[in-house]
Structure 1
Amino acid sequence: MSGEVSMFEWIVANGWVFWLALFLILAIIEVMSLDLYFIMLATGALASVFTALAGGEFWLQTLVFSVVSLIMILFLRPIALRHLQRGPADQLTNVDRLIGLDALVLEPTTRLAGRAKIGGETWTARHDGEGTLEPGTYGRVNRIDGATAYITPREAMTD
């Protein structure tokens, strides 16, 4: 049975295939998540593809993957996020467009529970202060966290 090659031995001998497959998987996950972590890891995997094709040992390929990914996450991702979040209001996307909009309170809204209509859609809402926002009152969206809008009552708003 000396002619059989284990999967690990095959991966070590054909590291570029492993890293290329990992690159593709990470890129696909990034397209679905859009959080800029997986694309940083995919860049590390792509660097490892080139290291493997240049004849680098598997330990070196792994080291290149780790170092490039870490550098990308620590240094490039914050810069990329700042650039993505910059821009005029008419270029903001999805949830970012809701920040600053009026919110019609639909049910009593506290720091723990509530609902509000924002931009024609009903959202889970939380009071971004103390007390209770009563149904029929308006507030302004301060921030969105997941599927929850945090709103401030109009009398507490400053322009």
Structure 2
Amino acid sequence: MEAWIAWLLVAALLGIAELLTLTLALGLLAVAALAAGLTGALGLPLGVQVAVFAIGAVAGLVVVRPVANRHIRQPPALRSGTAALVGREALTLTEVSRAGGRARIGGEEWTARPYDPDLVIPAGTPADVLAIEGATALLYPLQERPG
């Protein structure tokens, strides 16, 4: 069997192993083996193929993998949906109590309840949005905040 075929088989096995483990390391080694296989298909000697594999593996594991891992671990740059409302300021449109109420958050009208069920927030009071449960904002009045 020619060396370039063996490199392609190694690349395929490493690629399958990467799909099963999701470590990114085996995938980068598969790319290095593929490069070595292409080098062998061009008719270059085995020593050059091994050198291409070694350079590709080191470059992938030392340079590409840390950069890719850093990007994978980054939190999303922008909160969206209801998560984007948490921490914003609301203005109560009606009295907000355990039974419910209405508040304006970012130009939209929401059903609201106080975060502390014993509180009653009068209409026209600014409040923090502490959480969203379904379609209901849980509010805490700004002037009631300790500190």
TM-score where L is the length of structure 2 = 0.50
Give the superposed CA RMSD.
1.9
Mapped pair 1:58 → 2:46: yes
Which one-letter code corresponds to 1:31 in the other structure? L
The 3-state SS of whatever aligns with 1:35 is coil
Q: Following TM superposition, by how much is the alpha carbon of 1:86 offset from its aligned partner in structure 2, in angstroms?
A: 1.4
| Alignment equivalent of 2:37, drawn from 38, 41, 49 | 49
Q: What runs of 5+ residues in structure 1 fail to find an aligned partner?
A: 1-9, 92-159
Partner of 1:20: 8
Partner of 1:97: none
TM-score where L is the length of structure 1 = 0.47
Distance 2:39 2:59 in 1: 17
| Alignment equivalent of 2:27, drawn from 36, 39, 43 | 39
Distance 2:41 2:5 in 1: 10
Q: Following TM superposition, by how much is the alpha carbon of 1:90 offset from its aligned partner in structure 2, in angstroms?
A: 9.9
Q: Which entry has the higher C-alpha Rg, 1 or 2?
A: 2
Partner of 2:131: none
Q: Following TM superposition, by how much is the alpha carbon of 1:60 offset from its aligned partner in structure 2, in angstroms?
A: 1.0
Which one-letter code corresponds to 2:25 in the other structure? Y
Distance 1:57 1:87 in 2: 46
Q: Percent identity?
A: 32
Distance 2:76 2:32 in 1: 32
1:74-89 aligned within 5 A: 74-88=62-76
The 3-state SS of whatever aligns with 2:9 is helix
